[in-house]
């Protein structure tokens, strides 16, 4: 299925994610001479996560990262760590692709909270559509800072008004201020809305998910059609108390909880302190 060889650049940059000691690469394993940790090599990829490990079909291609970032990789001047690279269309010799599965061009599998790389080794780090899926985003940002050279640059995309995706590993939808807090250890040049997250895309993505949740939640074809045929203006008028509930409002309000959780505005949590 995969026939790639170990990227030779890894010989000089891998460190133990537990103790940060330089690792020794053997034929089928990566060994730590300090803490005696041992990590497998699968399909030419060092694996720093527990198995079983998913291998994604080699013909799968992920969404492009955008022309500006692609141009950096094509130019080849900077040594880039691409976290959450997925299934890239092109393998670039100046780029280390880091993932939690083995895709067609993956170089290393591991945890973004514990990057298995030397300090101050990369010129740039890319992490697109990754941070909403991390349990501790600020810790991951600090790890990125550790592996960047002084003056090195990071670029991320992360969710704000997006519905649930890649469950159960979708933890955060951050505001601009949340993203700035995660990266408060950096000199932030800009935090803006890129074209792939612009309001038109957001509305299309959200409404597509609303209709899908209605379908999966058991709404009839008639109920689904009422929602589909309603207008944005009708929903806005209702919210500002200048109109009646739009067609389909009741249907959405009464979807089963699993479907509501995919498209809800927020959550109510009730909890009890344990007796211990």
**pLDDT, tens digit (0-9, with 9 covering 90-100), for 93-114:** 999 999 999 999 999 999 999 9
Question: How confident is the prediction for the chain on average, in pLDDT?
Answer: 95
Query: What's the rounded Cα separation, in Å, for the pair 202 and 197?
Result: 6
Beta bridge partners of 14: 117
User: Do residues 117 and 173 both lie within one domain?
Assistant: yes
Reported confidence tier of residue 5, pLDDT bands at 50, 70, 90: confident
Q: What percent of the chain has pLDDT over 70?
A: 99
pLDDT at residue 65, rounded to an integer = 95
- Decide which of 196, 226, 247 is a domain's last residue: 196
pLDDT in tens, 44-95: 999 999 878 888 998 999 999 999 999 999 999 999 999 999 999 999 999 9
pLDDT at residue 2, rounded to an integer = 55
Residue 181 lies in a domain: yes
pLDDT in tens, 232-248: 999 999 999 999 999 99
User: Do residues 208 and 167 both lie within one domain?
Assistant: no
pLDDT at residue 275, rounded to an integer = 87
pLDDT at residue 104, rounded to an integer = 93
Buried b / exposed e along 249-263 (16+ C-beta atoms within 10 A): bebbeebeeebbebb
Has residue 1 got a pLDDT over 80?
A: no
User: Do residues 70 and 205 both lie within one domain?
Assistant: no
User: Do residues 104 and 65 both lie within one domain?
Assistant: yes
Query: What's the rounded Cα separation, in Å, for the pair 252 and 218?
Result: 11
pLDDT at residue 66, rounded to an integer = 93
- Decide which of 176, 196, 216 is a domain's last residue: 196
Angle between helices 199-216 and 221-229 (to 10 degrees): 160
Cβ neighbourhood burial of 161 (10 Å; 0-12, 13-18, 19+): middle
Query: What's the rounded Cα separation, in Å, for the pair 261 and 240?
Result: 24
With a CB cutoff of 8 Å and minimum separation 6, the contacts of 139 are 113
Reported confidence tier of residue 3, pLDDT bands at 50, 70, 90: low
Task: Give the count of domains, the chain.
Answer: 2
- Sheet containing strand 24-25, edge to edge, reads 24-25, 29-31, 38-42, 45-46
In 10 A of CB 80, how many CB atoms? Answer: 23
User: Do residues 154 and 255 both lie within one domain?
Assistant: no
Residue 130 lies in a domain: yes
Residue 20 lies in a domain: no
Tell me the residue ranges of DSSP E strands in 92-245. Answer: 95-99, 108-109, 122-128, 148-157
Kindly list the distances between the CA atom of residue 233 and the CA atoms of 29, 54, 73, 252, in Å, as whole numbers in the listed order.
60, 45, 44, 17
Residue 37 lies in a domain: no
């Amino acid at each position: 299925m995969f026939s790639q060889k170990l990227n030779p650049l890894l010989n000089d940059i891998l460190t133990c994610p537990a103790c940060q000691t330089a690792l020794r690469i053997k034929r089928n394993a990566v060994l730590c001479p300090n803490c005696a940790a041992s990590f497998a090599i699968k399909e030419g990829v060092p694996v720093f996560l527990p198995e079983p490990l998913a291998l994604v079909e080699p013909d799968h291609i992920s969404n492009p990262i955008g022309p500006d970032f692609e141009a950096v990789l094509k130019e080849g001047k900077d040594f880039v760590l691409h976290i959450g690279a997925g299934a890239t269309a092109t393998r670039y010799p100046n780029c280390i692709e880091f993932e939690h599965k083995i895709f067609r061009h993956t170089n290393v599998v591991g945890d973004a909270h514990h990057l298995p790389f030397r300090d101050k080794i990369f010129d740039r780090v890319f992490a697109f559509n990754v941070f909403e899926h991390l349990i501790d985003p600020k810790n991951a940002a600090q790890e990125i800072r550790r592996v960047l050279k002084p003056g090195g640059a990071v670029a991320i995309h992360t969710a704000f008004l997006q519905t649930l995706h890649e469950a159960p590993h979708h933890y955060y939808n951050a505001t601009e201020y949340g993203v700035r807090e995660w990266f408060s250890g950096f000199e932030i040049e800009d935090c803006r809305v890129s074209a792939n997250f612009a309001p038109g895309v957001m509305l299309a993505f959200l409404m597509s998910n609303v209709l899908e949740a209605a379908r999966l939640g058991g709404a009839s074809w008639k109920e689904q059609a009422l929602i589909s045929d309603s207008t944005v203006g009708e929903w806005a008028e209702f919210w500002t108390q200048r109109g009646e509930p739009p067609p389909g409002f009741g249907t959405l309000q009464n979807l089963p909880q699993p479907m509501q959780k995919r498209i809800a505005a927020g959550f109510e949590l009730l909890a009890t302190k344990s007796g211990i």
